């Protein structure tokens, strides 16, 4: 159990194809990951890298680099498919039936285990589209921790909890630990409250603003609960400059600005500054698995 007054940040990178996995490219995984690893190494910060089975299988050298540096490998589904309930509108996402969820997650687990040589015990659902069927499948597959709960959407606090087997959004008696993704409770309430979601504030608003928010929330949670944690999530493609538009044979996709603004060198600098500010304030970083063992 964490000691009284401790403040922790769990930082996770969702290792998927580029621009929110809306494209088939993996420049982020190939070119962004080395930048992330360099910054983490400089600050001696451990992190969890949640791979899709697909990206894991096609980038074994990246998986090895992550493991060599002592970070954790987790699961982000097989092909970034939707394994839960959407909390915002999307076009062209691949849905699976509740009855298919366990098989899909099992497949991704095996693919990742085969490449990495370690069985993943940490999970995050693509786009934070989670469900009770998903959490029950993860429990059965032996997962220790899930971080798919979009607290901004449910308007809930973001303290870790053991979910109920009837409703994953409520506390209950499952063994798996849920790490809600935090949000800015005072942020604007546009777009089904997505504008309050932690992601992608670091890149859009900058490290100084994001660090202040984190320190404020860590203090508030600690004062209320005696100990506190925040779960920060990012993506490797944010650390490589991403285009506003991509063209394929049959369609052109134009991305909203928040998906590509400040990607590349600006994002690398923001991560570096954020980690420096947190460490200077005495905040400690942990992997998802490490944190679940101690909470
Ligand atoms: Zn994702």
Alpha carbons within 13 angstroms on the beta-carbon side of residue 122 total 26
* Angstrom distances, CA of residue 38 to CA of 45, 65, 130, 251: 10, 11, 32, 36
Distance CA 237, CA 29 (A): 6
Å from CA of 223 to ligand 1 middle: 32
Alpha carbons within 13 angstroms on the beta-carbon side of residue 92 total 6
Å from CA of 162 to ligand 1 middle: 23
Å from CA of 76 to ligand 1 middle: 7
Å from CA of 22 to ligand 1 middle: 10
- Say how far residue 1 (Cα) sits from the centre of its chain: 23
Å from CA of 284 to ligand 1 middle: 25
Residue ranges in the chain whose pLDDT is less than 50: none
* pLDDT on residue 57: 98
pTM for the model stands at 0.97
Distance CA 16, CA 51 (A): 6
Q: CB under 8 Å to 54, separation ≥6 — which residues?
A: 17, 78, 79, 80, 111
Å from CA of 5 to ligand 1 middle: 32
* pLDDT on residue 150: 93
Å from CA of 16 to ligand 1 middle: 6
Q: What angle do CA 239, 138, 222 make, to 5 degrees?
A: 65
Distance CA 141, CA 121 (A): 9
Per the CB < 8 A criterion, the answer to whether 137 and 107 are in contact is: no
Per the CB < 8 A criterion, the answer to whether 169 and 181 are in contact is: no
* pLDDT on residue 87: 87
Å from CA of 189 to ligand 1 middle: 23
Write out pLDDT tens, residues 7-59. 999 999 999 999 999 999 999 999 999 999 999 999 999 999 999 999 999 99
> What is the CATH number that goes with domain 7-294?
3.20.20.370
Å from CA of 127 to ligand 1 middle: 6
- Domain residue limits, the chain: 7-294
* pLDDT on residue 9: 97
* pLDDT on residue 96: 86
Write out pLDDT tens, residues 58-83. 999 999 999 999 999 999 999 999 99
């Amino acid at each position: 159990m964490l000691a009284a007054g401790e403040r922790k940040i769990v930082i996770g990178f969702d290792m998927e194809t580029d621009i929110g996995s809306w494209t088939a490219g993996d420049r982020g995984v190939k070119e962004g990951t080395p930048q992330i690893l360099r910054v983490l190494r400089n600050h001696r910060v451990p992190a969890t890298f949640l791979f899709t089975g697909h990206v894991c299988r096609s980038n074994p050298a990246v998986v090895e680099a992550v493991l060599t540096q002592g970070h954790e490998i987790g699961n982000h589904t097989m092909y970034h498919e939707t394994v839960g309930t959407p909390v915002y509108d999307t076009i062209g996402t691949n849905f699976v039936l509740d009855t298919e969820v366990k098989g899909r997650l099992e497949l991704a687990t095996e693919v990742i285990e085969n490449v990495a040589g370690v069985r993943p015990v940490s999970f995050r659902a693509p786009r934070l589209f989670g469900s009770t069927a998903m959490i029950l499948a993860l429990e059965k597959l032996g997962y220790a921790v899930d971080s798919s709960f979009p607290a901004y959407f449910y308007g809930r606090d973001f303290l870790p909890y053991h979910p109920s087997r009837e409703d994953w959004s409520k506390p209950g008696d499952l063994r798996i630990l849920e790490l809600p993704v935090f949000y800015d409770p005072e942020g604007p309430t546009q777009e089904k409250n997505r504008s309050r979601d932690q992601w992608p504030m670091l890149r859009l608003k900058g490290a100084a603003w994001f660090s202040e928010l984190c320190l404020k929330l860590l203090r508030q949670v600690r004062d209320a609960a005696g100990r506190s944690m925040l779960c920060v999530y990012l993506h490797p493609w944010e650390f490589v400059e991403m285009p506003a538009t991509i063209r394929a044979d049959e369609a052109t996709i134009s991305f909203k600005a928040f998906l590509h603004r400040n990607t590349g060198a600006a994002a690398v600098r923001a991560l570096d500054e954020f980690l420096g500010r947190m460490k200077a304030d005495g905040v400690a970083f942990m992997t998802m698995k490490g944190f679940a063992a101690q909470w």
